[in-house]
């Protein structure tokens, strides 16, 4: 007997910065699940990863802003308000709105009306990625359609949402999975029972990340014509700590030659470029912008070391376990990172990489300086990091756990 279709609610699809979600969708598709993707936003990236091209699940784009598709929203409301479930859904939304009186909350209920109205009649489950807005839409739509819903929690959605909302969603959902042990502990402290929250590392599909075929050169930064290549991949947002990285790079010894390649989009690029110019290192930084996965993998193989200066932003936003660190380590690329959230769950300091405190440019500069000047250290840490990530962070184990949570699977 075929499994009932699962509607997966996403904030945006496809997104270059969310390969872990696409990887999960493809894995569930390959296991025979009938998936229907529901996106709150249209794509903004101009390219896609190879994994996106392999996903065949149909995508429905909800009205990103209700005023953009008033006829569609009105048609949904006229139909859904006659359903016996409408009163309960409206009461739930009204209770949320009184505590969060924002246009965003109104928009999410309108999107939920459209989703519930247009969802295929045979849909059996609603599953949302991120506990904030996608799970709000999923929850309202689930009440309207009389369906169970579940959530996958990550980082910003956990730490920037109010506790009252997290508690209520955890109580209402069938189950929640999250991608780090730190997140599990945080959510279980808010849940009515521990069984509602499980750990599912994203991990990597190593078929997409074969090991590099040749060793890296022994650059040590003494040759100005052959500088050490430092790579960082991440969105230019506050939680990634790029101002700290620029300050750390500016503090490196002047007799060591390096260049930084950065991959990722984000709104802070202009400010960061100015900061780098003011620090006298602007010409050493190559801002590449967002790039597809195959291009990023090539850069992992060309680089000598990887750095990510994650921090906790002023609004509480933070990384969970950044996939880019696992990707870099899969290519035996030694990593320098910060002790934030679940990063120490992946990187063992001095054994599989170097860890420093967040918000500490001098400590970051010291770690980078060691890596730049010591090719033997880079080789040792890169090899150990590759061994650890390949032995403990494959994605299939997590997919096994996740797949068994849906109805009709064993």
The tens digit of pLDDT for each residue in 326-340 reads 999 999 999 999 999
pLDDT (average), residues 73-100:
98
Phi, psi angles (nearest 5°) of residue 49: -85, 160
pLDDT (average), residues 142-162:
95
Distance from C-alpha of 378 to C-alpha of 353, rounded to nearest angstrom = 9
Contact in structure between 318 and 156 (CB atoms under 8 Å): yes
Is residue 393 scored above 50 in pLDDT? yes
Is residue 322 scored above 60 in pLDDT? yes
Among 309, 165, 340, 299, smallest CA distance to 237 is for: 309
Q: State the pLDDT at residue 101.
A: 96
Q: Is 403 helix (H, G, I), strand (E, B) or coil?
A: helix
* Full-model pTM: 0.83
User: Considering the chain, what percentage of its residues have pLDDT values greater than 70?
Assistant: 99
> Six-digit token pair at 347?
């990187």
The crossing angle, in degrees rounded to 10, of helices 133-145 and 103-118 is: 40
Is residue 193 scored above 90 in pLDDT? no
In this prediction, residue 2 has a pLDDT band, given cuts at 50, 70 and 90, of low
pLDDT (average), residues 117-142:
97
pLDDT (average), residues 140-168:
95
pLDDT (average), residues 257-276:
96
- In CATH, what is the architecture of 207-392? 3-Layer(aba) Sandwich (3.40)
Is residue 147 scored above 50 in pLDDT? yes
pLDDT (average), residues 192-200:
91
Q: Is 6 helix (H, G, I), strand (E, B) or coil?
A: strand
Q: State the pLDDT at residue 410.
A: 44
401, burial (CB in 10 Å: exposed 0-12, middle 13-18, buried 19+): middle
pLDDT (average), residues 271-297:
96
Is residue 1 scored above 80 in pLDDT? no
User: Which residues sit opposite 307 in a β-bridge?
Assistant: 336
pLDDT (average), residues 169-186:
95
Q: State the pLDDT at residue 96.
A: 98
Contact in structure between 296 and 266 (CB atoms under 8 Å): no
Distance from C-alpha of 280 to C-alpha of 252, rounded to nearest angstrom = 12
Q: Mean pLDDT over all residues of the chain?
A: 95
Q: State the pLDDT at residue 109.
A: 98
Where do you find CATH 3.40.50.2000 in the chain? 6-202+395-403, 207-392
Residues 6+ apart with CB under 8 A from 409: 3, 403
- Element containing residue 176 per DSSP (H, E): strand 176-178
Among 114, 94, 118, smallest CA distance to 105 is for: 94
Q: State the pLDDT at residue 202.
A: 87
Q: Is 258 helix (H, G, I), strand (E, B) or coil?
A: strand
Pairwise pLDDT comparison (17 vs 262), residue with the higher score:
262
User: Which residues sit opposite 335 in a β-bridge?
Assistant: 306
User: Which residues sit opposite 386 in a β-bridge?
Assistant: none
Contact in structure between 109 and 80 (CB atoms under 8 Å): no
Is residue 221 scored above 90 in pLDDT? yes
Within the chain, how many helices (H) and strands (E) appear?
A: 17, 13
* CATH among 3.30.390.30, 3.40.50.2000, 3.40.50.620, 3.40.50.150 for 6-202+395-403: 3.40.50.2000
> Six-digit token pair at 140?
């309202």
Scored b (16 or more CB within 10 A) or e, 94-113 reads eebeeebeeeebebbbbbbb
pLDDT (average), residues 137-163:
95
Which range among 38-52, 67-81, 127-141, 259-273 shows the weakest confidence by mean pLDDT?
A: 38-52
CB count in 10 Å sphere of residue 115 = 25
User: Considering the chain, what percentage of its residues have pLDDT values greater than 90?
Assistant: 87
CA distances from 398 to 201, 203, 223, 280, 337 (A): 6, 7, 45, 45, 24
pLDDT (average), residues 205-216:
92
Scored b (16 or more CB within 10 A) or e, 60-79 reads bbbbeebeebeebbeebbee
The pLDDT tens digits of the residues spanning 42-55 come to: 998 888 888 999 99
Distance from C-alpha of 47 to C-alpha of 15, rounded to nearest angstrom = 9
């Amino acid at each position: 007997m075929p499994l009932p279709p699962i509607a997966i609610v996403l904030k945006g699809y496809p997104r270059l910065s969310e390969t872990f979600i696409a990887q999960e969708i493809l894995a569930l598709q390959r296991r025979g699940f009938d998936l229907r993707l529901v996106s709150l936003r249209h794509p903004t990236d101009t390219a896609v990863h190879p994994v996106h091209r392999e996903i065949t699940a149909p995508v429905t784009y909800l009205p990103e802003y209700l005023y953009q598709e008033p006829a569609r929203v009105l048609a949904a409301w006229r139909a859904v308000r006659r359903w016996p479930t409408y009163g309960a859904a409206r009461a739930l939304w009204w209770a949320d709105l009184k505590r969060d009186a924002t246009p965003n909350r109104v928009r999410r209920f309108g999107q939920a009306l459209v989703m519930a109205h247009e969802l295929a009649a045979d849909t059996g489950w609603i599953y949302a990625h991120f506990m904030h807005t996608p799970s709000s839409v999923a929850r309202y739509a689930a009440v309207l359609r009389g369906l169970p819903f579940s959530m996958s929690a990550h980082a910003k959605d956990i730490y920037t949402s109010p506790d009252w909302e997290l508690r209520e969603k955890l109580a209402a959902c069938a189950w929640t999975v999250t991608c780090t042990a730190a997140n599990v502990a945080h959510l279980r402290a808010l849940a009515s029972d521990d069984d509602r929250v499980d750990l599912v590392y994203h991990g990597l599909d190593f078929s997409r990340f074969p090991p590099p075929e040749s060793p890296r050169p022994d650059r040590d930064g003494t040759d100005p014509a052959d500088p050490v290549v430092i790579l960082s991949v991440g969105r230019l947002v506050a939680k990634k700590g790029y101002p700290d990285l620029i300050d750390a790079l500016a503090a490196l010894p002047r007799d060591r030659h390096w260049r930084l390649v950065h991959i990722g989009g984000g709104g802070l690029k202009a400010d960061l470029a100015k900061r780098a110019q003011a620090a006298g290192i602007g010409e050493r930084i190559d801002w590449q912008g967002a790039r597809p996965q195959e291009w990023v993998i090539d850069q992992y193989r060309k680089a000598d070391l990887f750095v990510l200066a994650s921090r906790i932003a002023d609004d509480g936003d933070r990384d969970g376990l950044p996939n880019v660190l696992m990707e870099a380590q899969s290519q035996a690329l030694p990593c320098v990172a910060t002790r934030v959230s679940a990063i120490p769950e992946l990187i063992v300091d001095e054994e599989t990489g170097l860890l420093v405190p967040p918000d500490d440019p001098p400590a970051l500069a010291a770690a980078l300086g060691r890596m730049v000047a010591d090719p033997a250290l880079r080789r040792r840490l890169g090899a150990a990091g590759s061994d650890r990530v390949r032995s403990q962070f494959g994605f299939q184990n997590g997919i096994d756990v996740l797949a068994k949570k849906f109805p009709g699977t064993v």
